[in-house]
Structure 1
């Protein structure tokens, strides 16, 4: 039985969410009206997973999440507004340690909850089995438990960590006349913080452009790209129009659309295409990889499949691997949800299976020594 704590100041939302999960045979549901009640309920009931509203009286969702992840870490799914302000708060929640999020019904919530219910249940059930990264905010937890943290009811949010920068790549990787290449990254649940770890160590002169398909709504991918751009040496931008690919750049696919590769007179371009209705997740990792293989030789492509629920990307990266491309799957011990990379491993198409912190060095090593065989 999964013990779920629903935290929301709206009596209507508590009733609607309770109705959704009470119909599932494997959930036992409890409720809290704000962050203060949530902390009390966590201490008394020890839930397995929690849904958490952002805006609440007394103690809001971010302050509550901060306390939870420092004192009694457990998987949290945020219920967020799909506005841009809601996106910024959600990305902060993911940085603080939330596993996932889902857009909160707007308007007549009682009418939209039925459409939302299957996805909500899927996300919360997956979060309940998610692997929280033990190293996440470890220093803060140690300081708190040893009495070095300031004794505040609501601890101030810690500044974003400064990720180490790798040394510049050897010039041989970008020798004149070498054919262009591309890194293709797919992720979903747990992806935003995994992208921090992947892009942070890459140098500004990283020789191959990077395309990123992160499953998110359209209002979230722009803030995500801006956040990543401020955290790493690469230039990171959201793809909303055809963009010529450049070294030292990473391109985040727009949510609710698909990210595909095309060509123009000047060379390859990243483009946002209407989402393919035959594909379940968007931006689709499978479609991104397949489109890249149409324009760039497989041996000039590296596919990286990281944490995420489901199987998007595994089939296309298996085709890439079979055609002579290189693939990396995030290892189970660091993935929040080992769905997508696990499918690639089970297909026998992961050229390397690496913990998250080893993926960036592997990319640097592969492109810095391009003459050496990957396999």
Structure 2
């Protein structure tokens, strides 16, 4: 996608005040990147205008609207248009559940609405970043349904940890993680810990619950000190770093609230670095998936230096080819694979 003079935005929200706030915020961008070309009061209004417009580059879409809500509108948009969508959602438990569903359907990212409409301008730099990232995302990948692939290899039994896999992912993560967990057989020969960049609130809990609908193994939010074993699929909780420590013969996930690293907590680099430091004979693997920025690059270098293996998602399937690209360009990736080939590769090399 070439450089354009403007990124043309459609704002879809039933609140006239929110539409006005967003339009004002986008027009205040000091880099002059955005132009609001349309506003819509609900999903039906948005779909009607999309039929008549050819220049919409990104859509902001509210979840809760009359006539046709955000989820129903999103399904129709991704079925008919190659236009990236950023959701506006609440941080409530129900809002987090619907947000995860929207990301699974094909939304590229989301912005959490503040409790007060007047607080929305405080989020302007987050809004700029997410709309800009969405514009340059691989929207066809974001909207593509992940295939279900099952392994027919008989897994080893027991609670011992045979291999340790850590995964780092950001924008586009919920869809990518769904594809990953679908392919993991019951009791695989590895334990897996995930750092997904996500706002604090109920989102990670809702993500784990959503992934459980697709996984043969339990997917859960990690607890401090939790033992890692074959079949473990743990996700770092919102607002906490996750590290791995060895105690005796066992491996445990330990949480902390130390300062953010490169703006993130949890940090992929912190998880990967802790895995690199382990004095262990258990093979270690770092997997870097879709996401903006470079979190995970330093950690991947550390794992590689200590004899571990690094796997990166390819540009062909990454919704946002930022994090894996940075690792690949550092020359530390042992394997670069399409998303659907990563678990089969892990099953092959960990057996």
Structure-2 residue corresponding to 1:67: 76
Structure-2 residue corresponding to 1:114: 121
Residue-by-residue CA offset, 1:117-170 (whole Å, 9 max, x unaligned): 1111101100011102359457xxxxxxxxxxxxxxxxxxxxxx8823212356
After TM superposition, the score normalised by the length of structure 2 is 0.91
Q: Which of 42, 47, 50 in structure 1 is aligned with 2:50?
A: 42
Structure-2 residue corresponding to 1:164: 149
Task: Give the Cα–Cα distance (whole angstroms) in 1 for the partners of residues 105 and 47 of structure 2.
Answer: 16
Shift of 1:246: 1.5
Shift of 1:282: 2.6
2:78 aligned with 1:93, yes or no? no
Asked if the contact 2:47–2:77 (Cα under 8 Å) also holds between the matched residues in 1, the reply is yes
- Map 1:251-262 onto structure 2 (within 5 A): 251-262=234-245
Asked if the contact 1:133–1:334 (Cα under 8 Å) also holds between the matched residues in 2, the reply is no
2:334 aligned with 1:362, yes or no? no
Asked if the contact 1:299–1:325 (Cα under 8 Å) also holds between the matched residues in 2, the reply is no
2:36 aligned with 1:31, yes or no? no
After TM superposition, the score normalised by the length of structure 1 is 0.85
Structure-1 residue corresponding to 2:210: 227
2:17 aligned with 1:12, yes or no? yes
Asked if the contact 1:330–1:355 (Cα under 8 Å) also holds between the matched residues in 2, the reply is yes
Task: Give the Cα–Cα distance (whole angstroms) in 2 for the partners of residues 325 and 198 of structure 1.
Answer: 20
Structure-2 residue corresponding to 1:193: 175
Structure-2 residue corresponding to 1:318: 301
Change (3 A) 1:270 1:99: same
- RMSD of the TM alignment (CA)? 2.2
Task: Give the Cα–Cα distance (whole angstroms) in 1 for the partners of residues 268 and 281 of structure 2.
Answer: 16
Structure-2 residue corresponding to 1:103: 112
Change (3 A) 1:247 1:40: same
Task: Give the Cα–Cα distance (whole angstroms) in 1 for the partners of residues 99 and 338 of structure 2.
Answer: 25
Runs of 5+ in structure 2 lacking a partner? 1-5
Task: Give the Cα–Cα distance (whole angstroms) in 2 for the partners of residues 208 and 69 of structure 1.
Answer: 35
Structure-2 residue corresponding to 1:157: none
Q: Which of 219, 233, 239 in structure 2 is aligned with 1:236?
A: 219
- Map 1:167-316 onto structure 2 (within 5 A): 167-169=152-154, 171=156, 180-218=162-200, 219-264=202-247, 267-297=250-280, 300-316=283-299
Q: Which of 104, 121, 132 in structure 1 is aligned with 2:139?
A: 132
Residue-by-residue CA offset, 1:80-138 (whole Å, 9 max, x unaligned): 1011101110111111111111211112x32x323311111101100011102359457
How many aligned residue pairs are there?
A: 341
2:140 match: secondary structure: coil
Asked if the contact 1:237–1:252 (Cα under 8 Å) also holds between the matched residues in 2, the reply is yes
Task: Give the Cα–Cα distance (whole angstroms) in 1 for the partners of residues 269 and 260 of structure 2.
Answer: 13
Task: Give the Cα–Cα distance (whole angstroms) in 2 for the partners of residues 362 and 84 of structure 1.
Answer: 36
Asked if the contact 1:168–1:206 (Cα under 8 Å) also holds between the matched residues in 2, the reply is no
Structure-1 residue corresponding to 2:3: none
Asked if the contact 2:14–2:41 (Cα under 8 Å) also holds between the matched residues in 1, the reply is yes
